[in-house]
Amino acid sequence: MSYNANSKGYYGEFGGAYIPEMLYPNCEELRQNYIIIMQEASFKEEFEQLLKDYVGRPTPLYFAERLSKKYNTKIYLKREDLCHTGAHKVNNTIGQILMAKRLGKNRIIAETGAGQHGVATATVCALMGIKCVVYMGEIDIERQAPNVARMKMLGAEVRPAKSGSRTLKDATNEAIRDWINNPVDTHYIIGSVVGPHPYPDMVARFQAIISEEIKWQLKEKEGRENPDYVVACVGGGSNAAGAYYHFLDNENVGIIAVEAAGKGIDSGESAATSALGKVGIIHGSKTLLMQTADGQITEPYSISAGLDYPGVGPMHAHLFKSGRGEFISITDNAAMEAGLMISKLEGIIPAIESSHAFAILEERKFNADDIVVINLSGRGDKDLNTYIDHFNL
Ligand SMILES: Cc1ncc(COP(=O)(O)O)c(C=O)c1O
């Protein structure tokens, strides 16, 4: 069985490009060119140079000694929190801005929820001197004010999405509307492995640098390229796709995906898509989606804005449905406790999204000689106020 996209963008039954006619030329232009461009020597050279000198790659693969002792297994952390701008999101925005330039685009649009992808997009637009518009739900603009300020300092225009629940899903709708109206000069930088083909595959390829590095770093440290398990949190699923990418076809490497259970899977306030979702179409892709009996999208909830999405990318829907991936969901409270634990035990304050991945250590037992790589997708600076409120710090 294949766990990568086929030429039409399907992962098993999931994926594809369910788009309005008006969007077809844009997606088709990208589909016809993305692999050719990514394979050009000059593209590879520029991408790798920027990842090294601007983003700060390779990010360390850090053996977490105290954490390993506590859970009696060998735990390595892939330090995406040390990327410029504070999370893995920038790997993808560097790739897509170079893609946009080669396609002759001079205007960039993006959607953002927590603001990490918005900041990563505004950053690369500043770097390249390209006009940038970021759509963000009105509610998220209020609760993620520091990231809104960062985007503005970087020269981006932040446009509020005022419809629906006024969060990520609605910002994505606005961005797609903008793209339909500006098909010639504008490239839409999607921030996760979601959206119509070729986005899920393209974003996964840009994030694949994470597992490419894990392989040689683990070889150096342990004498073998493959861990026993790779663990990552899943919002749309881009950090997870990058961490799994080079291990997908090796069934000896266990893949663990961690979703947000919010206040509990059965609480009505959750974002545990694999547990609650049914097949549906969102933002141009066929995937698992939280929806009502008559197919209306259910409002998701998680304490972490980055996991607060009603679907998952098609790669993850396929990993779930095929049984290749093990899916675990973690409540707000368990994630917050894990974030505090990692801070005190390892001196690293994780993004709340990443804290969800650490929380599985309380419930999922590993053998003493297992090598477990946990993708630390981002740093907790953006979440300090949420940690302060939660723990009365
Ligand atoms: C630090 C961090 N981790 C994870 C995510 C979730 O996104 P994805 O599932 O695409 O990695 C986000 C999204 O904003 C994030 O900021």
Domain of 248: which CATH number? 3.40.50.1100
**In terms of domains, do 19 and 162 share one?**
yes
The verdict on 82 and 93 lying in the same domain is no
Q: pLDDT tens across 86-128, in order?
A: 999 999 999 999 999 999 999 999 999 989 999 999 999 999 9
Please tell me whether residues 161 and 220 are part of one structural domain.
Answer: no
Distance between Cα 32 and ligand 1 center (Å): 28
Looking at the domain assignment, is residue 166 inside a domain?
yes
Q: Which residue among 233, 283, 352 is best mutated to probe the pocket of ligand 1, counting the most ligand atoms within 8 A of its Cβ?
A: 233
Residue 165: its pLDDT value, please?
81
State which residues form the domain around 67: 56-86+208-391
pLDDT attached to residue 228 = 99
Closest CA to 247 of 225, 268, 275, 269: 225
Residue ranges with strand state E in the chain = 10-11, 14-15, 61-63, 74-79, 107-112, 131-137, 157-161, 186-189, 229-233, 254-262, 278-282, 285-289, 325-331, 371-376
Same domain, 158 and 248: no
Name the residue type at position 354: S
Per-residue model confidence as pLDDT tens digits over 330-343: 999 999 999 999 99
- Do 217 and 334 sit in the same domain of this protein? yes
Which of 137, 170, 203 delimits the end of a domain?
203
What's the pLDDT at 290?
A: 96
- Residue 6 domain-assigned (yes or no): no
Residue 5 belongs to some domain of the structure: no
Q: Are residues 16 and 135 in the same domain?
A: yes
Substitution site in 79, 134, 199, 238 for ligand 1 pocket (most atoms within 8 Å of beta carbon):
238
Protein residue with its CA nearest to atom 12 in ligand 1: 306
Instruction: Report how far Cα 254 is from the mean position of its chain's Cα atoms.
Output: 19
Compute the distance between CA of residue 35 and CA of residue 29 in angstroms, rounded to an integer. Answer: 12
- The active-site residue out of 89, 105, 169, 382 is 89
* Below-70 pLDDT ranges, the chain: none
Closest ligand 1 atom to Cα of 241: 11
Which pLDDT belongs to residue 164?
85
pLDDT at 5: 98
Catalytic status, residue 89: yes
Quote the pTM value.
Answer: 0.98
Same domain, 323 and 271: yes
Ligand 1 geometric centre to CA of 355 (Å): 11
The active-site residue out of 111, 259, 346, 353 is 111
Instruction: Give domain status of residue 1, yes or no.
Output: no
Among 195, 142, 132, CA closest to 166: 142
Residue nearest atom 5 in ligand 1 by C-alpha distance: 306
- Report the separation in Å between the CA atom of 342 and the middle of ligand 1, taken as the mean of its atom positions: 18
Ligand 1 pocket, CB under 6 A:
87, 113-114, 116-117, 192, 233-240, 306-307, 351, 353-354, 377-378
Whether residue 381 sits in one domain with residue 264: yes
Residues 220 and 350 in one domain: yes
67 & 189 share domain: no
Domain-located, residue 4: no
Contacts of residue 149, Cβ cutoff 8 Å, sequence gap at least 6: none
CA distance 125 to 252: 40
Q: How many domains does the chain have?
A: 2
Specify if 170 maps to a domain.
yes
- The ligand 1 atom at the shortest distance from the C-alpha of residue 240 is 11
Q: Torsion angle of alpha carbons 161, 163, 167, 173, nearest 10°?
A: -70
**Domain check: are 143 and 250 in the same one?**
no
> How far, in Å, from the CA of 21 to the mean position of ligand 1?
30
* 376 shares a domain with 318: yes
**186 falls within a domain:** yes
How far apart are the C-alpha atoms of 285 and 110, rounded to whole Å?
Answer: 17
Give residue 100 CA to ligand 1 midpoint distance, Å.
Answer: 22
- In a 3-state reduction of DSSP, which class is residue 158? strand
Q: So what's the pLDDT on residue 124?
A: 98
Protein residue with its CA nearest to atom 13 in ligand 1 = 306
Q: Of 142, 174, 203, which residue is a domain's last?
A: 203
* Residue after which a domain boundary falls, among 203, 220, 245: 203
Atom of ligand 1 nearest to the CA of 115: 14
Instruction: Establish if 2 belongs to a structural domain.
Output: no
